[in-house]
Amino acid sequence: MRPIDRTAGPGVYGPPVWVPLRTSLDGSEVKVGCTFDSHGSSHGYECAGHHDRWAIDFIAPTGTPVYAADAGFATDITGKPGGSGFGNVVRVDHGFGSSTLYAHLAGVAIDPAGEWVDETTVLGMVGSTGSSSTPHLHYERVALPNGATSVGQEESVDPGPLFACRAGFLVAFPEVAGLDSWKGLAWGSLTVANDGPDCLGPAEAAPAAPVPAARPWSSVIAPLLRIIAHSDAWDRTPG
């Protein structure tokens, strides 16, 4: 079992479950910088107290392509409400009150009027625009709490496991590295990579390097099952 493949198109939404980068420009894995309540620093990039909410900074060179985490409608919200401090930023509405933000981009690649995207769509390129001290992608999942109706009421939420294809097999980060959560990771303690959304399915054992030593695959399949159990909602057009 795996996240459901979808094709970008009007009214097509999907839960944001894919790692939003492939590799760095030189083909190496992408280092995870600051996350929620993480610590450590490098080259003037300090995590302590930086993220007081759920978010992930992926450290990659300027120009690295950034992909949507799944299907939805993408909008360039640079300079608009919800984009303060983010520099060039794209929002993808995944339906049912769930959206993702892709911030500090060097450039935006989507139609200025917005467009329907999926996990194969390049939204823009990694940069360091806005309030940023080093090139990176700030990735954030936001959702409307119960009873809320407007974008201004959104809250950052746990992004949950993010899936990737590695060596032909489906893996889930951060579980594949033996970690239960993105919260509190030490700066640079985890690297990720994604060959794209096309792979065979869960591996029977951990893929070979460069993926870190893995836990038993039950720990990877469990979060995948949780996503699939709720995926029916994304197969309907939101009302």
Name the least confident of 37-51, 80-94, 107-121, 146-160: 37-51
**Structural domain includes residue 88:** yes
Amino acid at 227: I
Let me know: does 139 contact 101? Beta carbons within 8 Å.
yes
**Structural domain includes residue 239:** no
**Structural domain includes residue 17:** no
pLDDT at 173 over 90: yes
Q: What is the pLDDT of residue 217?
A: 40
**Structural domain includes residue 20:** no
Give the chain's domain count.
1
pLDDT tens profile 177-235 = 999 999 888 888 899 999 999 886 654 433 443 333 333 444 444 545 444 444 555 55
**Structural domain includes residue 78:** yes
Going through 13-130 in order, the beta strands assigned E by DSSP cover 30-35, 41-42, 45-46, 56-59, 65-67, 72-76, 88-93, 98-105, 107-108, 115-117, 122-125
**Structural domain includes residue 188:** yes
Residue 220 is given by DSSP the state: H
Range of the domain at 67: 30-231
Residue 147 is given by DSSP the state: T
**Structural domain includes residue 172:** yes
Q: What are phi and psi of 222, to 5 degrees?
A: -55, -50
pLDDT tens profile 7-53 = 788 889 999 999 999 999 999 999 998 887 766 555 445 565 556 67
Nearest 5 degrees, angle CA 222-CA 234-CA 229? Answer: 25
**Structural domain includes residue 6:** no
Average pLDDT, the chain: 81
- What CATH number corresponds to the domain at position 51? 2.70.70.10
Residue 146 neighbours by CB under 8 Å, 6+ apart: none
Read off the pTM: 0.81
Residue 177 is given by DSSP the state: G
